[in-house]
Structure 1
């Protein structure tokens, strides 16, 4: 081994050299082709000579000791096949036998001890790969091959395992695989018995490799004679071996006997490997099987094995990070590939504590492994939605953390519940109900936080399922109703009993308010789906009513007097009628929704909701009357309906906004002139405190305060705040206005504040008189008598009171402005629906001037832009046959006046977009007039001419050039039709 044999130049076989070179190639196809080429020279029909065989085997065994990356793979393949070809067929004339080949393997892979560390490592791996090739060639199992050779190979493999701990696993794997190969060949038990005997004699039985080999032998050769006194009942997985098993699987060496520890220090692998030992698969695959064999009655179940070996072993508090790393690998593997029942047992106490701790802090050693484990759960749920139930119980159950997402600063649970299907929800929703009932702590503050977290998860489920398709909605309906039922139970009722169903601790008023807001948030998402909008809001109010009657959930916390109770009863009667007609008559489902949400307002203690119920009753009576009555009263009912919807639209809640839009859309074609005027009057109101006082009575202030409850102190979910409460853009036009406007208003506010401060200081100085605040006046406070002191106190009280009133008034002005801007935005949303549904009605043209004036007058850019957008949408849909039609001369005369008013509006100086909006409005009226009478074009030209004249002659006329250029463009396109 320490020298190279000299070769004569003329003896070099170039082709053979190339084959050996190709065997070490890193490309699979080149290696395989070279192996085939070499093996083909040693088939029985070629009858190779002994010297040729010895030479090639020597070269291949030596090649296994090469440090080149792919050499061992290529040489091992060729060696296995050549051994098979040469020694499985009778060769009577040959003197080179299999025993000679084994000696050659030993000599070529033996190290003298003087080599470098890397060279020794290469020789050890060469011997290992040689053993694998010898065993895989099946020569050892030929009848002509002495049985002693099998013992010899086994001894060499186990001796190799003892030499270096880092090669022990590979040696064990070869024998482990061989057990299955022997079973496949139906070999005699003696082969396995020798392997087990040598395993014990080399003190490797109580090692991960030894356990694997033993278990494989037990399964494949149950009739074989096993070494005694190694394992209880000859089974490493016996319940009485659980402690030893745990220590061995951790490779701590503590599982070995005292004599074993003294004899052999190779019990532990010595060098940590980031890959899982194959023994884990060998053990796990057997603990997951339920066997009824008598000998296996005392075998560890998977759950017991996981708790003892993994949770109390790898994830023990004192366990190293490297052991916990293996634990995460095992957990991820079982989550990915294990059966759902098996995976459900892996969410154990120590593991879950470690997972939460590592997820929470990014710079922790195992953070990335924890993230992979969490993602493995999410991936399994995405692939198998019913697994969500297992995951939720594991993460939030007894061994997990109720507020897992908050503790880990992730959205793991939230994402999982969003993926859950209806089968999983059937388990998850009742589980969450129990967590709200009993949040796992008696501390009121912590229990409130836990309940809020669970309520947020229930809301996440609703939001994720709100857009379900028609087919899925049928399956999800029951779960969604159950979620709303849970909220109703805990939001509106107080169970003060001591029974198993009573919440412990009792829910605080703040928590109940939070749950009521969650109901609004749920309905806000659900009403966008027509299937849910027609059923779930009604189901909620019906459950509240039934629960209040029966007392099933405890005391109803909302006070309802007799008069209000009568209105509620009447409303439910109307709801019952609507439910019977909603499939036959258009708009009844929208009415049902409106009734349901109005009743929700009643149950939330809104005083205005009572009058709204009465107005709704009036509308319902008119709309559900006989055919003749319907026609006569439809206008009054429509006007009343608009007022109700405006009442909802004025509230700063997205739920009421969506509901008002949905109901308005169902009845938009029935809106009358009075109803439209109600909408227009809001657009023309001032964006100020005076405008608010004009639009609302004094009671509205209370309603506004109540509406703001969607953002209560407990509700800390930012995503929910964004969707539940629509932020009002006003004053500084926070999100949509130009930065210039922001700076301007801030400067004005600063200047106003400075003036107020100066005025306050002046009044304070005047009140103090000679007794200045700095105490340096001619007279000190000590010189003042009691009357003078009282007089000074009165003056100071008046000054500070005036200051407080001034500050309160400033806040009132700001709030009023924000309310008016919000209200106008909501009305513009309704008008956009109106123009889409009723653009062909002549009535819709009444919107042109109010929209143009709003575009010019509004101090908030967002409102002005939105007004222009509504007008643009209107003119966009009014084309061809969709144009409003004039029916008589009176209507035509009104349109001529409208055209002139639009031109007058165009002459005002306005913000960007106003001029274009005026032009669009003018052209729309022109199209309507010309469509009614082509000769009307002459009059339109005169109107444009008069406006052009004003532009030239009047300083007050600020009409933009684009107004006329767009008119000219229209004339060019319309000239052919007019002629």
Structure 2
């Protein structure tokens, strides 16, 4: 019977099924928003008053929609809840019931269809609880509970169901509270609905829900929306207000979700990675602290209540800093704390953001940042990025952030502890006004770092000094808006670098603990670093340098900041006074609108020389006298002869060389700038001073030859405290290429020399011990066989042997240091020579550089120097094209008229060819060919008839290549010559 009747039943059911409606319900669960929306519209259109739906249709639709909310399929809850809300609104829009179904019946259908009691434990039960919550929310949103004639008990029924869900399932507590909170929000400011709000508060109180974050949020909303609402009086101890400052400890526990209620179900027991919506509700109702008003005003009851409320600052300290960020607090609650911290950073006013950098917050931030594998490290990194993002959007926030991270609640070594550059990045984003406040704060921290430990204070001061240097580097080219800030930084450095020991008139700036000599030296070094950046990026670097030395002099005279740390005797003082007078005169000569480059350059070198005197450089005093001579010849004496000006030019070159020899980026940049201005005034003697540097060897002997050193230790070494911000420039020494084995045999044999030294040491040690070598097992004398006199004699011998070994090691280090010094010095001079050839390549005097540069390419034991010399020579020959070829007609104007001006060029060409015959690197051969072709162009430009003699010189070189074993000229030398002949021959014939 079943086989005959069942198919008939299925056919009758399929005949009655509304296929379109089935498709609508299916689409309501679609993952696509547009499909769900279209399905909801089609379904709602079937239940409009015009459609006149029947009781059965409405009942089935409600049952289907409520059941659909309990489905875990796709996006069913979203689509079904939207459709349900609209269907309820349409069905009960005009009157209490449609075809016999009322609101009460709809609530019954909802309660039955979403009842989770009959479902299986696990995911199915969770789905029913979620569907029940979504259904209750849809009923409230549809507003059918507030229709005239709807029993008030239905409202209480729905609220009770929602609270029951929150209490039964802690993981749905916040969602349940949010649904009720949104319902209150919809009812807000509608006096007719006050009873609904009062009933909700009474219900959540009776169910232990009121002393929860959600309950606090709802209570506050009712208070604000319905000031006259009758709320339970036995919930809060003071003013019936959860935000009363006397109840702040209770509030702290509630917001941490630690319940004080007798019903412990009020505690959620489930952690959520998102902030509870109640935090927004509470934060929006907190007032910022304000200064006490001296005027007495009458306060109404509301104002009096608000005055007793906890302020934002009090709330943050009690609830967040001492609550979420307490040392004993869990990582989960600290996670919430970081979320709150970032929320205030992103949304809060400057006043509020200033209040959140409290002790525990900053401590936790530093601890989590410092170690990557800590649980909240990523949250701490995110918090720091949030701070930086706020600064990038609102530069004024930089001052607040720096104050918070380095202030009384922060740490002066925040960046060092966390191993990130958070504070530095914030400072570099600050606008001029914020930067001014930051520097004033850091200045106070330099004076009083808050510690009595000298080493800790020195470390903090170094950090701030480096931070100031970073500011100058970043903002030196930012425009005039930052000029006052940069000047203030330099002034600050001057005060602490050169003055101290005694208390000056500015007592509030007295350093405690006192600034150590090492820190003062560090500050002086940082002044050089700042000037180095400013010289490159501002229009008037001479004025900045002059202001620095003038401040030093003024503070020295006024003793405003204590005793000057440098002893200046009468002779030095006289030289300084004369120098300042000359600088003042130079300033008066210079036009304010159109700056004289030579005057500005001279002012710069004059000011920096004075700075060196203040730094205790003994050589700088004699340089002042030489500068005074230069000044008198360039600007002082209008009747000075050309010879005198040449002498002054030569003296200036020597001064610039003295600066260039120092391992300082500032002095390198200054010497290059000044030389660039005076390059066209350089004489043959001045140029020879530069050439003499590149001709000496890169070793100890060359250093002694150049600096007249005889194993003395009188020169001060500048210690690079921090390579990042130090003004000291370190150049790596790169050994020469292996191909240059003949010239670099000394370097290549260094390993063998070490072995020989070690063998000699072993031999002497064995001799002292009266034994064979240490590795000889046939020693026939033991320590036990010696008497006291023999042991004493051995000790004396050992002392001599080890002393000799120490001297040998020290000598080896001296050799290495000398090589580095000479490499650095030669690099500087090559930079200067490159400036010279760029500015004066048309001068015949520049021809004197060709042979020294070519020899340096071959002889240098440092590949870097060899390559640099080759580059300068190539740049020289490249620039001399067309009309830029040096003219020999100017040679001999001041020489013996009988001397042929072209003869030295012939000699130079022959010398270049001899240099090309010497074995060397490929770069040397290329450079020799370039130099030879260049000299050919010079001679041909003088007289085309010279080509005959040039051919003869090349022929002699070719002959030497064929016949002499000592000639190592490369084939490319003649290839370049042949190419030039082809091109030049065509132009000569034309």
Q: With the length of structure 1 as denominator, give the TM-score of the two structures.
A: 0.91
Aligned to 1:201: 206
Alignment partners' CA distance in 2, 1:187 and 1:882: 97
Alignment partners' CA distance in 2, 1:225 and 1:928: 107
- Aligned to 1:363, the other structure's residue is in SS state coil
1:868-883 equivalences under 5 Å are: 868-883=870-885
Match of 2:304 among 272, 294, 299: 294
**Structure 2 gap segments, 5+ residues each:** 1-8, 291-301, 892-899
Match of 1:504 among 503, 509, 512: 512
The answer on 1:940 being equivalent to 2:950 is yes
Q: Which moved more, 1:413-422 or 1:866-875?
A: 413-422
Alignment partners' CA distance in 1, 2:769 and 2:274: 83
Aligned to 2:4: none
Displacement of 1:551 after TM fit?
0.9
- Aligned to 2:922, the other structure's residue is in SS state coil
- When residues 151 and 427 of structure 1 are mapped into structure 2, their CA distance, relative to the original with a 3 A threshold, is same
Match of 1:610 among 621, 624, 635: 621
Displacement of 1:84 after TM fit?
1.7
Aligned to 2:781: 776
Aligned to 2:18: 13
Match of 1:428 among 421, 438, 445: 438
Aligned to 1:315: 325
Alignment partners' CA distance in 1, 2:678 and 2:14: 103
The answer on 1:403 being equivalent to 2:413 is yes
Aligned to 1:482: 488
Displacement of 1:244 after TM fit?
0.3
1:354-503 equivalences under 5 Å are: 354-466=364-476, 468-469=477-478, 472=479, 474-497=480-503, 499-503=507-511
Alignment partners' CA distance in 2, 1:113 and 1:834: 96
Displacement of 1:761 after TM fit?
4.8
Alignment partners' CA distance in 1, 2:555 and 2:485: 19
- When residues 622 and 138 of structure 1 are mapped into structure 2, their CA distance, relative to the original with a 3 A threshold, is farther
Aligned to 1:811: 813
Q: Retained in 1: the 8 A contact 2:601–2:677?
A: yes
Aligned to 2:297: none
- When residues 646 and 551 of structure 1 are mapped into structure 2, their CA distance, relative to the original with a 3 A threshold, is same
The answer on 1:709 being equivalent to 2:718 is yes
Per-residue CA distance 1:27-76 (angstroms, 9 max, x = gap): 21221122222222222322222222222221111111111241111111
Q: Retained in 1: the 8 A contact 2:96–2:147?
A: no
Displacement of 1:357 after TM fit?
1.1
- Aligned to 1:170, the other structure's residue is in SS state helix
Displacement of 1:678 after TM fit?
0.7
- When residues 805 and 250 of structure 1 are mapped into structure 2, their CA distance, relative to the original with a 3 A threshold, is closer
Q: Which moved more, 1:305-314 or 1:623-632?
A: 623-632
Alignment partners' CA distance in 1, 2:173 and 2:800: 92
Displacement of 1:649 after TM fit?
0.6
Aligned to 1:688: 699
Match of 1:857 among 859, 871, 888: 859
Q: Which moved more, 1:177-186 or 1:548-557?
A: 177-186
Alignment partners' CA distance in 1, 2:418 and 2:773: 58
The answer on 1:964 being equivalent to 2:974 is yes
- When residues 765 and 310 of structure 1 are mapped into structure 2, their CA distance, relative to the original with a 3 A threshold, is closer
Aligned to 2:42: 37
Q: Retained in 2: the 8 A contact 1:598–1:613?
A: yes
Alignment partners' CA distance in 1, 2:77 and 2:144: 20
Alignment partners' CA distance in 1, 2:586 and 2:23: 90
Alignment partners' CA distance in 2, 1:849 and 1:584: 38
The answer on 1:754 being equivalent to 2:755 is yes
Q: Retained in 1: the 8 A contact 2:454–2:513?
A: yes
Aligned to 1:725: 728
Alignment partners' CA distance in 2, 1:637 and 1:480: 35
Q: Retained in 1: the 8 A contact 2:695–2:852?
A: yes
Q: Which moved more, 1:621-630 or 1:658-667?
A: 621-630
Q: Retained in 1: the 8 A contact 2:55–2:98?
A: no
Q: Retained in 1: the 8 A contact 2:740–2:921?
A: no
Aligned to 1:339: 349
Alignment partners' CA distance in 1, 2:48 and 2:712: 100
Alignment partners' CA distance in 2, 1:24 and 1:771: 96
Match of 1:906 among 913, 916, 921: 916
Displacement of 1:567 after TM fit?
0.7
Alignment partners' CA distance in 2, 1:281 and 1:741: 80
Alignment partners' CA distance in 1, 2:744 and 2:857: 21
Aligned to 1:640: 651
Per-residue CA distance 1:488-540 (angstroms, 9 max, x = gap): 21221114449543211112222222222222222222221133623332222
Per-residue CA distance 1:210-236 (angstroms, 9 max, x = gap): 111111222222232222232221321
**Structure 1 gap segments, 5+ residues each:** none
- When residues 110 and 932 of structure 1 are mapped into structure 2, their CA distance, relative to the original with a 3 A threshold, is same
- Counting matched residue pairs gives 951
Match of 1:244 among 250, 264, 284: 250
Alignment partners' CA distance in 2, 1:116 and 1:77: 28
Per-residue CA distance 1:319-367 (angstroms, 9 max, x = gap): 1111111111111121122222211111111111111111111111111
Alignment partners' CA distance in 1, 2:138 and 2:498: 76
The answer on 1:63 being equivalent to 2:68 is yes
Q: With the length of structure 2 as denominator, give the TM-score of the two structures.
A: 0.90
Alignment partners' CA distance in 1, 2:940 and 2:744: 47
- When residues 56 and 289 of structure 1 are mapped into structure 2, their CA distance, relative to the original with a 3 A threshold, is farther
